[in-house]
């Protein structure tokens, strides 16, 4: 049976070679996030049940491991936005489909020099390793995001990079030919060389670019929920439960709407929808307006239980040179959105808690203040 090799090592030449060797032998790999504590890595290994463990210095068999199926290439965990991460199985076919669809949309020629500066334990980072191995693209690897290092890599020849929104704000985007932006909601205004992607671990990363589905991707909305079908969909979860609708779509748990029939607007997780006084409020819409305020550096909006309104709109804000008042924030939002969208509470914070992919950590956020 094909083996599942857990990779407990930073991304580098050894990492790339172990992936190459595993694939040549018909095995799959499971990269471990190097920012995890030793105990957290142990729990992750217990959850994904690899049969082997590879480090920078050796490789050994593990007890109680479970093999994968023929054709499986990658096992990677979700970010756990609902609190419980799941182990996702991708095949060589789903990875190739993701690479081909992305290359077609971006008009790639196979000579682009990619910079990897996001975790390879997530599909967005690992996909760059796969592109290097499968398509032969030049690849520069940095073990973490560092603004100076990223810009230095661009000046040294890197042309393409995948980033999250918080990282984009800390570099000169004009240094790159193309920037793929994923993770958290995109800022309201972006340079022309930035492509906003929407996707998830289960779709091998972005399968919608700038609101439009990639080739081969079929999207439908049911009760406002986004459902996706396409060749880059995962085979299954490692845990094994059925994950598709009877007609073959993957329910994302995200809510959205159509603009001009083929342009998808993503409003956020179903659980993030705020219903205040009977009105539906999308946090991303309020965040977009707040982000344009001259004294707001970063912001996040969520609903908090309220005895009178059911939920009240709360904004967590990292301020710039001055601290706006609640009244100023409400007035700013009301200029662009209905009055009921205006926050009823503002919490000023030094930083917003985020996951490794730059998404807001909702549990940690609500614990602030």
Burial environment of residue 247 by CB neighbours within 10 A (0 to 12, 13 to 18, 19 or more): exposed
DSSP H helical ranges for the chain? 13-24, 38-48, 92-106, 123-135, 147-155, 165-168, 283-291, 326-334, 362-367
CA dist., res. 329 & res. 341, Å (int): 11
CA dist., res. 273 & res. 251, Å (int): 17
Average pLDDT, the chain: 91
pLDDT in tens, 324-334: 999 999 999 99
Q: What is the DSSP string of 60-84?
A: EE-TT-----TTEEEEEE---TTSS
Question: Per CATH, is 4-266 categorized as 3.40.50.12780?
Answer: yes
The domain limits of the chain are 4-266, 273-367
Residue given tokens 């690899």 in the structure block: 50
CA dist., res. 255 & res. 265, Å (int): 9
Residue given tokens 């906003």 in the structure block: 196
Half-sphere exposure of 235 (CA within 13 A, CB side): 19
pLDDT by residue for the chain (369 residues), tens only, comes to 899 999 999 999 999 999 999 999 999 999 999 988 898 899 899 989 999 999 999 999 999 999 999 999 999 998 654 445 789 999 999 999 999 999 999 999 989 999 999 999 999 999 999 999 999 999 999 988 999 999 999 999 999 999 988 789 899 999 999 999 987 667 778 999 999 999 999 999 999 999 999 999 999 999 989 999 999 999 999 987 778 999 999 999 999 999 988 899 998 888 888 989 888 898 888 998 998 999 999 999 999 998 888 899 999 999 988 899 999 999 999 999 989 999 999 999 999 988 766 678 877 888 776
pLDDT in tens, 87-101: 999 999 999 999 999
The topology under which CATH files domain 273-367 is: GMP Synthetase; Chain A, domain 3 (3.30.300)
């Amino acid at each position: 049976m094909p083996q599942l090799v857990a990779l407990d090592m930073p991304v580098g030449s050894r990492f790339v070679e172990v992936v190459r060797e595993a694939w040549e032998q018909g095995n799959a790999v499971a990269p471990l996030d190097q920012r995890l504590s030793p105990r957290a890595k142990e729990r992750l290994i217990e959850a994904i049940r690899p049969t082997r463990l590879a480090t920078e210095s050796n490789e050994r068999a593990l007890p109680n491991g479970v093999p994968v199926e023929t054709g499986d290439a990658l096992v990677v965990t979700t970010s756990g936005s609902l609190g419980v991460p799941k182990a996702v199985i991708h095949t060589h076919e789903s990875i190739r489909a993701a690479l081909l669809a992305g290359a077609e949309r971006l008009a790639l020629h196979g000579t682009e020099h990619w910079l990897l500066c996001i975790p390879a334990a997530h599909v967005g980072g690992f996909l760059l390793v796969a592109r290097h191995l499968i398509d032969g693209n030049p690849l520069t690897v940095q073990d973490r995001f560092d603004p100076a290092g990223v810009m230095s890599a661009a000046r040294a020849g890197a042309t393409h990079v995948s980033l999250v929104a918080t990282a984009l704000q800390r570099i000169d985007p004009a240094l790159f030919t193309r920037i793929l932006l994923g993770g958290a909601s995109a800022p309201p205004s972006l340079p022309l060389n930035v492509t906003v992607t929407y996707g998830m671990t289960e779709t091998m990363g972005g399968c919608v670019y700038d609101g439009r589905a990639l080739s081969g991707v079929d999207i439908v909305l049911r009760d406002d929920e986004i459902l996706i079908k396409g060749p880059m969909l995962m085979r299954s979860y490692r845990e094994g439960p059925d994950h598709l609708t009877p007609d073959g779509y993957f329910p994302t748990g995200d809510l959205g709407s159509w603009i001009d029939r083929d342009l998808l607007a993503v409003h956020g997780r179903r659980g993030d929808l705020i219903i205040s006084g009977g009105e539906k409020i999308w946090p991303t819409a309020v965040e977009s307006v707040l982000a344009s305020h001259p004294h707001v550096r970063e912001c996040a909006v969520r609903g908090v239980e309220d005895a009178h309104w059911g939920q009240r709109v709360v904004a967590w804000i990292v301020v710039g040179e001055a601290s706006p008042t609640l009244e100023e924030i409400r007035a700013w939002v009301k200029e662009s959105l209905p009055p009921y969208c205006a926050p009823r509470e503002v919490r000023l914070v030094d930083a917003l808690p985020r996951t490794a992919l730059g998404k807001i950590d909702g549990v940690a956020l609500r614990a602030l203040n």
